[in-house]
Structure 1
Amino acid sequence: MSAFESRWNPQSSVAQQRRAAMLERLGALRALEERAAHASAKSKPVFDKRGQLLPRERVALLLDPGSPWLPLCSLAGFLHDHKDPALSVPGGGVLAGIGFVSGVRCMVVASDSGIEAGAIQPMGLDKILRVQEIALQNKLPFIHLVESAGANLMRYRVEGFVHGGALFRNLARLSAAGIPVITVQHGSGTAGGAYMPGLSDVVIMVRGRSRAFLAGPPLLMAATGEVATEEELGGAEMHTTLSGLGEYLAEDDRQALGTAREVVAKSLDSSFPRRRESSDGEDWIPAPRSESRAGRAGMTGLGGLPPRFDADELLTLMPAHHREPVDMREVIARLVDDSDLLEFKPMYGAQTLCVQARVAGHAVGFISNNGPIDVAGANKATHFIQWMCQRGQPIIYLQNTTGYMVGKDAEQGGMIKHGSKMIQAVTNATVPQITIQCGASFGAGNYGMCGRGYAPRFLFSWPSARTSVMGAEQAARTMQIVNDAALKRKGLAPDPEKSRAQFERIVQMFEAQADVATTSGLLLDDGVIDPRDTRDVLRQCLDMCAEAEARTLRPMQFGVARM
């Protein structure tokens, strides 16, 4: 491999215009995330009066101070329940991310009970299901901080109730796989919500605040006529002394979170290696890993030299519109160790990039796009995917494509069958695959470049990402041609005004749906990241993949049953 020689001038007027556009878009997306935090914080007086911590305070207290934190799906639900962009609050009523608890990397999920008392929102359910899947794939202990009013009956949908069963199924799957499930019951868990602690391995409850019952006093009276208090039906003292649902009784939120940290510290063995602080107390370095195929393949995550280019330059590379070209080698060079690249088949299928490099010591393969994927590019990518699978090295897809090549020459050259081979290779790859949507992700290019439908281990977007079946103007022009042809068959002439109005309407519809705030709100990614953080995000993801590969669990036929 050799160090990449950049031809990009990050100080040029074009670069600075792109940087300004990227920062503006990033600021708008971060403001949406802050909207959820602000909405939750409005409940602080109520929480203070009850002697409780706000959800974000709980998460912060659970995590190791100064350790890495990777938030997930923070825009979930944006524009889903409220179509007005100015009023929609993202997040799905759930906080989720991957961080360190007592030195162990864990999946942490918390009810955002400062918003609608933590009632589960439709996209909040999908968000929990997604992070459960990530925990299962990466063998991460699952810690759930629960305080939820359950389903919002004013927004009840039968399909939400039915699909919600998967949440509890996944808790059982995690436990049976040998992955610890720990619940801190900060507040209510009613009806289906009561099965969250019920399907956990260890439950910590808070005196006077925790509630878990299949039917609360109102439903109990309506259904049977029986009168009982909340404490009698499902209070913390009752569950830790009589029913056995809870293992530990805490006096307040702080003690409960401290107990959770102690459970992780005392209960997780060498299968869950711990990280330790470096001597200066600032950096975090990997715990030793057992010898494994991952280690032999170079997935050791020992650090590596930083890139030779400033991460800030990543803000200058992506244009505001996908019609402007980008050399994605410039992006890769700003992500990999020492900006050292080995390009695979550089003169064949040149618009499809296949590159070997290292990220924080992990040997990886990159696949990216400098244009549409043509026949040669599809064959090259297929070959490279198989080569990476043989070497046991993860594949990172940097999406920036308008799709597979179309036209007479492409069709006669077998574009369908060669593109299909690439999709076959992506589908059946035996190594972890991670996708970053940097720019355009159009048509079947989304599939061939390991989009959400192909289950990459992680998928993040840049603010510049655009996802669509095709470009907005291309879609509008296509419909215009089809409509004009239909009118011609009827002997009618197109109305220019109507045709123009329809064109603009279709463009607007496609642009709105392609926008990253919309796609992230629909959980078509795991979050929108600052381009400058991409290397760190990849490092964390690759560390997790390597740790999961090396981790030996003790699966059982069933999950741990409550006794």
Structure 2
Amino acid sequence: MTPHHGPVFRSGWDAGSPVALQRREAMLQQVARLRALEQRADAKSAEARPVFERRGQLLPRERIGLLLDAGRPFLPLCTLAGYLQDQKDPAASVPGGGIVAGIGFVSGVRCMVVASDSGIDAGAIQPMGLEKILRAQELALANRLPFLHLVESAGANLMRYRVETFVQGGALFRNLALLSAAGIPVVTVQHGSGTAGGAYMPGLSDIVIMVRGRSRAFLAGPPLLKAATGEVATEEELGGAEMHTRVSGLGEYLAEDDRHALGIAREVLARTGWQEPVGKLESDPNKEELLSLMPANLREPVDLREVMVRLVDDAGLLEFKQLHGAATVCAQGRLGGHAVGFVGNNGPIDVAGANKATHFIQWMCQLGHPIVYLQNTTGYIVGRQSEQEGMIKHGSKMIQAVANATVPQLTIQCGASYGAGNYGMCGRAYAPRFLFSWPGARTAVMGGEQAARTMQIVSEAAAARKGETPDPARLQAQFERIVDMLEGQADAFHTSGLLLDDGVIDPRDTRAVLAFCLDTVAAAQAKPLRPVQFGVARM
């Protein structure tokens, strides 16, 4: 491709240049780090295989593999949840939050699938695992996705009890009621235990499938029952699969084993009539070049149009106000057959760029086209001139447009996401329908050195007001401490562990991920729901 001046952008990037090859190698190292962390969770869960085999059970990931349609895409979500949270040692922290979640197809129906990773701590709910389930429910509700939960959990870990987790955990059950009332099917396969609050998972489902000899659901298990009332009862009497399918009516279907249960779940989804035709994404010959575009040092300039043009279909990229506010890039294209608008950053967002983005967002809302934000921003520009030009009010208009946009918004954090630029470019707080990060992305209120220099100037000014001379050694120690604090928290793997995105992705997968998400959004808009007043009550 050759450079071209005009509204249709043509790439001028040489993916074989020394700079491009250096960037590619740095990005590949980050991708390898991502895959190693994801494999760590898989391997930790698989350590329980002998136990599962003795019980005649399948491991959680095997269950998901049997449930999903072969050959159709599956989008894993939040694979790094909980990374470096409870366990601060990077070499020992196991990501995933004890939950496996993603969007895939079951009997032709696009579904949200969530499974307890019962190979780890018997599926005990971790704090970030709870947040991960809540995010999956939020996505299911926004995108009209049937919610399939494969449950086998020891419940809350009382040795790591947190009162806030207990209180906020109630939202899990509230969301199930909202999903059902909205007309979105909620199906639970009870592979193992569901105790106390966990018993409300099947209780608030539309359809419950239980496994003979393995499923358990009770408000109080035998130990708690004896401690509370002195009553002695077996697990089967209190909450076994046969009791619930024959006596209490909590379960609709009794399965003989995990495979049988998953087969029933597939049959239940097949009878919804929500099937989608099999689609096929165009080939992606430029995806390898996406590895070479983003520098490891985010201070180096990047032309985000080079990313955009490698994501769109063959029709190319139509720039909007190419010569005005050029540091903010707005363009239209098609991605996976969907008409979309792109907003990206080639520098700080200035007054012209903010106004341009505001105009473009409103234009996309008028057309009904989803907006994809590609973040690489140091934030809104500062300085005497920009303040006098009204940067605050113009930046606020852009934030208002993002916050009130009437079309689905999707965000990819490609590089820097600093300051209020994170807000104006549809960061997590602005509820993009989906948000993913590239491995080298960084998120912070500002760069670490910039923050440290700011505090150094403040400290020196405070000392001068007191007529004192600041200690250079103390100032340097403060400088290094602030840099370490901000830079450590800015890393994409750390922010993803906090669920500040929906996952870190390989840049080469960006087009496929966005196309899948746009398909999901379009399917949701086309899907008629039949809401009921209070959800489907258990009978």
> TM-score scaled to structure 1, two decimals?
0.94
Q: Within 5 Å, which residues of 2 pair with 1:205-284?
A: 205-266=210-271, 268-269=272-273, 272-276=274-278, 284=279
The structural deviation recorded for 1:339 is: 6.0
The structural deviation recorded for 1:494 is: 2.0
Alpha-carbon distance in structure 2 between the residues aligned to 1:49 and 1:527:
34
Q: Within 5 Å, which residues of 2 pair with 1:26-41?
A: 26-41=31-46
> Partner letter of residue 123 of structure 1?
M
The structural deviation recorded for 1:511 is: 0.7
3-state secondary structure, aligned to 1:337: coil
> Partner letter of residue 367 of structure 2?
R
For 1:182-206, what per-residue CA distance to the aligned partner results, in whole angstroms no more than 9, with x for missing partners? 0000000000000000000000000
The structural deviation recorded for 1:306 is: 5.0
Alpha-carbon distance in structure 2 between the residues aligned to 1:360 and 1:236:
45
Q: Within 5 Å, which residues of 2 pair with 1:524-535?
A: 524-535=500-511
Q: Within 5 Å, which residues of 2 pair with 1:312-331?
A: 312-331=288-307
Give the match for residue 470 of structure 2. 494
Alignment check: 8 A CA contact 2:372 2:411 kept: yes
Q: Indicate whether 1:420 and 2:396 are aligned.
A: yes
Q: Within 5 Å, which residues of 2 pair with 1:283-298?
A: 284-285=279-280
Residue in structure 1 matching 2:146, options 131, 141, 144: 141
Unaligned runs of 5+ in 2: 1-5
Alignment check: 8 A CA contact 1:306 1:337 kept: no
The structural deviation recorded for 1:254 is: 0.3
CA RMSD of aligned residues (A): 1.1
For 1:438-474, what per-residue CA distance to the aligned partner results, in whole angstroms no more than 9, with x for missing partners? 0000000000000000000000000011000001110
Alpha-carbon distance in structure 2 between the residues aligned to 1:533 and 1:432:
20
Q: Indicate whether 1:174 and 2:176 are aligned.
A: no
The structural deviation recorded for 1:522 is: 0.2
Give the match for residue 411 of structure 1. 387
Alignment check: 8 A CA contact 1:3 1:339 kept: no
Alpha-carbon distance in structure 1 between the residues aligned to 2:151 and 2:180:
18
Structure 1 runs of 4+ aligned residues shifted over 4 Å read none
* Pairs aligned (count): 534
Alpha-carbon distance in structure 2 between the residues aligned to 1:526 and 1:18:
24
The structural deviation recorded for 1:85 is: 1.1
Alpha-carbon distance in structure 2 between the residues aligned to 1:33 and 1:380:
40
3-state secondary structure, aligned to 2:396: helix
Give the match for residue 279 of structure 1. none
Alpha-carbon distance in structure 2 between the residues aligned to 1:446 and 1:3:
28
> Partner letter of residue 194 of structure 1?
A
The structural deviation recorded for 1:275 is: 2.8
The structural deviation recorded for 1:2 is: 7.0
Unaligned runs of 5+ in 1: 277-283, 286-302
The structural deviation recorded for 1:5 is: 2.2
For 1:248-295, what per-residue CA distance to the aligned partner results, in whole angstroms no more than 9, with x for missing partners? 0000000000000011112x12xx23234xxxxxxx44xxxxxxxxxx
> TM-score scaled to structure 2, two decimals?
0.98
Moved more, 502-511 or 524-533: 502-511
Alpha-carbon distance in structure 1 between the residues aligned to 2:446 and 2:276:
46
For 1:53-92, what per-residue CA distance to the aligned partner results, in whole angstroms no more than 9, with x for missing partners? 0000000000001110000001000111111111111101
Q: Within 5 Å, which residues of 2 pair with 1:104-503?
A: 104-266=109-271, 268-269=272-273, 272-276=274-278, 284-285=279-280, 306=283, 310-338=286-314, 340-503=316-479
The structural deviation recorded for 1:101 is: 0.3
Give the match for residue 548 of structure 1. 524
Alignment check: 8 A CA contact 2:125 2:153 kept: yes
The structural deviation recorded for 1:321 is: 1.5
Give the match for residue 293 of structure 1. none
Residue in structure 1 matching 2:58, options 53, 56, 74: 53
Alignment check: 8 A CA contact 2:340 2:371 kept: yes
Alpha-carbon distance in structure 2 between the residues aligned to 1:106 and 1:6:
37
